[in-house]
């Protein structure tokens, strides 16, 4: 994984979008200039990045997050959808399975609801509640299947045209998405990406990130990275690295003059601590790769 984290410098200058704390990210300007649209995954009530994109480039933003209670809305070129990031073209059979578990057992569901209504003995009530918990889990699974879509699916559903820039901060869902998606297809309509990779203290995510970056290397170039200091730092072999990494990529076709970046990170006036009350993450490991 570590060997893929050495950034390259391209001819396009870098710019920062968003606040000078958590929620702000740095990427090459050309990736924003070449895109028609920003597709952003992860909202949580903060859209300073998206508002900054609109202010600087006057282009549409499509914002997705299925974990908040908002309904669909549009405001100043930013449109929100209560949907999340998942593998492209999720298996229709998966949806039908969860639906069948609900519909095929409707009589059982009605019976358990009747038991609760009748206020019978404690043992019966506990049994009924356990049964209803099963139905709740099936509803949750069905909701996940319906509300999660891949970038290509969202792109097609919205009838978008031209290329897009991706901003992804999905608290872990980024791994399954990129691990399973077709990166070659993604490169046909994505100018660049900023992705926050979480939980790198866990070996499974270290392995997945390594595989994902290996998939990226034929189509996208890593141009910037920053550590989210809310996550602290971890020891990985002889290296000390951030537990949460913010990585920015540009499509190879826009990576003119790419060369090894010898800049010292974090970069003053571009990078800022996500938590302003503590020092930024140390990125000295980049000089050791």
Residues 90-103 have pLDDT tens digits of 555 555 554 555 55
Predicted confidence band of residue 86 (pLDDT cuts 50, 70, 90): confident
Q: Which residue has the higher pLDDT, 16 or 1?
A: 16
Handedness of CA 37, 19, 278, 14 (dihedral sign): positive
pLDDT of residue 221: 97
The lowest-confidence range among 205-209, 236-240, 250-254, 267-271 is 236-240
Residues 12-31 have pLDDT tens digits of 999 999 999 999 999 999 99
Whether 255 has a pLDDT exceeding 80, the answer reads: yes
pLDDT of residue 104: 58
Q: Is 24 helix (H, G, I), strand (E, B) or coil?
A: coil
Those residues whose C-beta lies under 8 Å from the C-beta of residue 214, and which sit 6 or more positions away, are 4
Average pLDDT, stretch 2-14? 96
Average pLDDT of the chain? 88
Q: Are 244 and 34 in contact (CB under 8 A)?
A: no
CA torsion 17→19→23→29, rounded to 10°?
A: 10
Instruction: Quote the CA–CA distance of 208 and 183 in Å, as a whole number.
Output: 15
Closest CA to 160 of 194, 189, 192, 195: 189
pLDDT of residue 234: 95
Q: Are 234 and 201 in contact (CB under 8 A)?
A: yes
Q: In this prediction, what percent of the chain has a pLDDT beyond 70?
A: 80
pLDDT of residue 145: 52
The pair of structure tokens assigned to 58 is 């006057």
Residues 103-150 have pLDDT tens digits of 556 666 666 667 666 666 666 656 666 666 755 655 554 455 556 889
Instruction: Quote the CA–CA distance of 96 and 197 in Å, as a whole number.
Output: 32
Phi first, then psi, for residue 226 (nearest 5°) are -150, 145
For the chain, how big is the Rg over CA atoms in Å? 22
Q: Are 153 and 186 in contact (CB under 8 A)?
A: no
Average pLDDT, stretch 68-74? 92
pLDDT of residue 163: 98
Average pLDDT, stretch 274-285? 96
Q: Which residue has the higher pLDDT, 288 or 250?
A: 250
Whether 65 has a pLDDT exceeding 90, the answer reads: yes
Q: Is 67 helix (H, G, I), strand (E, B) or coil?
A: coil
pLDDT of residue 91: 56
């Amino acid at each position: 994984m570590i060997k893929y984290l050495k950034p390259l410098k391209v001819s396009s200058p870098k710019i920062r979008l968003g606040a000078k704390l958590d929620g702000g990210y740095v990427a090459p300007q050309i990736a924003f200039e070449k895109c028609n649209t920003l597709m952003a995954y992860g909202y949580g009530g903060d859209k300073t990045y998206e508002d900054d994109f609109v202010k600087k480039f006057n282009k549409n933003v499509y914002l997705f997050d299925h974990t908040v209670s908002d309904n669909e809305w549009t405001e100043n070129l930013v449109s929100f959808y209560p949907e999340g990031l998942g593998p492209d073209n999720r298996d229709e059979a998966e949806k039908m399975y969860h639906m069948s578990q609900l519909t095929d057992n409707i009589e059982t569901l009605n019976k358990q609801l009747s038991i609760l209504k009748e206020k019978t003995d404690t043992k019966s009530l506990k049994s009924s509640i356990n049964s209803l918990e099963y139905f709740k889990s099936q509803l949750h699974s069905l909701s996940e299947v319906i509300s999660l879509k891949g970038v290509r699916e969202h792109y097609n559903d919205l009838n978008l045209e031209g290329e897009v820039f991706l901003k992804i901060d999905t608290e872990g869902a980024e791994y399954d998405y990129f691990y399973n998606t077709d990166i070659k297809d993604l490169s046909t309509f994505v100018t660049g990406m900023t992705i926050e990779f979480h939980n790198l203290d866990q070996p499974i995510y270290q392995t997945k990130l390594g595989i994902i970056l290996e998939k990226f290397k034929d189509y996208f170039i890593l141009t910037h990275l920053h550590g989210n200091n809310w996550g602290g730092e971890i020891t990985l072999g002889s290296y000390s690295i951030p537990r949460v990494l913010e990585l920015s990529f540009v499509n190879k076709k826009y990576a003119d003059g790419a060369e090894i970046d010898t800049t010292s990170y974090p970069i003053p006036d571009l990078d800022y601590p996500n938590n302003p009350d503590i020092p930024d993450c140390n990125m000295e490991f980049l000089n050791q790769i």
